[in-house]
């Protein structure tokens, strides 16, 4: 046990502790002026401490066992996704939650991200570094991802569904996907998107009618697309959120308006400022400097994880870390991008900072897997 403690990456743990302080301060600022939201600081600290305990516990668990038996957690999580899709209570427009107590709920879509990383890492581990074949590898890995993608998509939870695709892209890259296959996929997907956007701009009513009626697409999905691509015809509430978020971040300037002094945040102009839109709190109250410092913390966290992957002697461990890095890169880019007009609005949290028990727990378990790779990299370590 002492040997394992010595092999923990304490730089990563220190960064997470800094995020804990940042998260507590930002969530407090986001909800202090909103009478409808009351998130006690004590509850935040309890959630973070529990997540840190989960981090340490998972780091001491041999990740190779999960890789060996990856099929079972994958199937169990698929069952949970089917369950919440068919029976779960709708919360904030999504049916993706399992209520455990009055104060705590569990979101299987968050767990699916970690489970998918392990499942794809197990598949790549069998290849032993060989190039991915289209029929034997690329398509099966795509199907492994598309099944949970579809189940998360219909909840509807577009944010987490997109992250699953981001993880798949990262695993294709580290798995030595052939450039010809990647180029073909890029041309097909890019061409399909261009054609779809063109016809949607010309005949939006046709898309909304047929996709909504026959494929179950939700109205607010089209509203979010309109907010991003065609703001002049967008839903007022979503346009209101996107424009106010951008305005609030811009008003922060270089140094910000000061902690607890954000005019838009404390006038309750920003919906879900304690969760999905918490980056607005950073931009308005701490300005460009504060936002840059927080993004640098993410950079150092990802940098440390990549170093562990490079030094790993076990391919499956390196694959897991690349999957985790891909997840964070896509999630951070999507969360920040949607608030500054670079991406459509989706319900996705900012890792380690946004308020959310399941999201924080899964993020900590992912880091725990990264630390487990570092601990168990040397075969000589035994209990």
Q: What is the mean pLDDT of residues 210-217?
A: 63
pLDDT of residue 39: 75
Residue predicted with more confidence, 244 or 6: 244
pLDDT at residue 382 greater than cutoff 60: no
pLDDT of residue 287: 92
The band of 132, judged by pLDDT with boundaries at 50, 70 and 90, is: confident
Q: What is the mean pLDDT of residues 46-57?
A: 88
308-367: per-residue pLDDT in tens?
Answer: 999 888 889 999 999 999 999 999 999 999 888 888 878 788 999 998 778 899 999 999
C-alpha dist (Å) from residue 85 to 89, 142, 157: 9, 21, 11
pLDDT of residue 5: 75
Element containing residue 98 per DSSP (H, E): strand 98-99
260-285: per-residue pLDDT in tens?
Answer: 888 888 888 888 888 888 999 999 99
pTM of the model: 0.89
Q: How far apart are CA 217 and CA 214, in angstroms?
A: 8
Instruction: Return the axis-axis angle of helices 204-214 and 179-202, rounded to nearest 10°.
Output: 110
Structural contact between residues 353 and 259, judged by C-beta atoms closer than 8 angstroms: no
139-149: per-residue pLDDT in tens?
Answer: 999 999 999 99
Go through the chain and tell me how many residues it has.
Answer: 383
Q: How far apart are CA 163 and CA 331, in angstroms?
A: 6
Q: How far apart are CA 67 and CA 133, in angstroms?
A: 21
Structural contact between residues 236 and 357, judged by C-beta atoms closer than 8 angstroms: no
Q: What is the mean pLDDT of residues 42-68?
A: 88
pLDDT of residue 130: 84
pLDDT of residue 296: 96
Q: How far apart are CA 233 and CA 10, in angstroms?
A: 50
Give the lowest-confidence range in 12-21, 62-71, 129-138.
129-138
pLDDT, mean over the chain = 85
pLDDT of residue 279: 93
Residue predicted with more confidence, 238 or 330: 330
C-alpha dist (Å) from residue 170 to 105, 158, 262, 378: 29, 19, 37, 25
Q: What is the mean pLDDT of residues 192-197?
A: 85
Q: What is the mean pLDDT of residues 219-225?
A: 69
pLDDT of residue 234: 67
DSSP 337-361: HHHTTSS-----PPTTTS--HHHHH
pLDDT of residue 365: 94
pLDDT at residue 44 greater than cutoff 70: yes
């Amino acid at each position: 046990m002492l040997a394992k403690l010595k092999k923990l990456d304490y730089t990563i743990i220190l960064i997470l502790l800094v995020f804990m302080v940042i998260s507590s301060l930002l969530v407090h600022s986001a909800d202090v002026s909103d009478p409808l939201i009351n998130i006690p600081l004590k509850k935040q600290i309890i959630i973070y401490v529990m997540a840190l305990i989960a981090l340490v516990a998972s780091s001491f668990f041999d990740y190779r066992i999960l890789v060996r038996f990856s099929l079972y957690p994958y199937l169990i999580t698929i069952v949970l996704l089917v369950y919440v899709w068919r029976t779960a209570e709708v919360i904030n427009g999504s049916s993706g939650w399992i209520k455990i107590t009055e104060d705590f709920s569990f979101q299987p879509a968050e767990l699916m991200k970690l489970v998918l990383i392990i499942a794809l890492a197990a598949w790549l581990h069998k290849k032993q570094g060989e190039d991915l074949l289209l029929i034997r590898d690329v398509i099966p890995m795509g199907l492994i991802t598309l099944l949970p993608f579809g189940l998360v998509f219909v909840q509807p939870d577009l944010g987490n569904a997109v992250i699953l695709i981001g993880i798949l892209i990262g695993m294709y890259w580290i798995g030595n996907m052939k450039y010809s296959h990647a180029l073909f996929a890029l041309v097909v997907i890019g061409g399909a998107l261009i054609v779809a956007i063109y016809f949607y701009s010309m005949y939006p009513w046709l898309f909304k009618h047929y996709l909504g009626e026959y494929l179950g697409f939700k109205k607010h999905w089209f509203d979010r697309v309109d907010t991003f691509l065609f703001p002049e015809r967008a839903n007022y509430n979503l346009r209101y959120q996107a424009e106010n978020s951008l305005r609030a971040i811009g008003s922060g300037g270089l140094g910000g308006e000061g902690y607890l002094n954000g005019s838009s945040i404390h006038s309750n102009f920003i919906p879900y400022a304690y969760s999905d839109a918490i980056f607005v709190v950073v931009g308005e109250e701490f300005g460009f400097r504060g936002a840059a410092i927080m993004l640098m913390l993410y950079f150092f966290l990802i940098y440390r994880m990549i170093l562990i992957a490079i030094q790993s002697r076990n391919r499956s461990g390196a694959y897991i870390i690349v999957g985790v890095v891909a997840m964070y890169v896509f999630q951070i880019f999507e969360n920040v991008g949607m608030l500054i007009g670079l991406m459509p609005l989706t319900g996705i949290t900012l890792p380690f900072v946004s308020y959310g028990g399941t999201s924080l727990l899964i993020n900590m378990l992912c880091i725990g897997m990264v630390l487990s790779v570092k601990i168990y990299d040397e075969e000589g370590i035994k209990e």
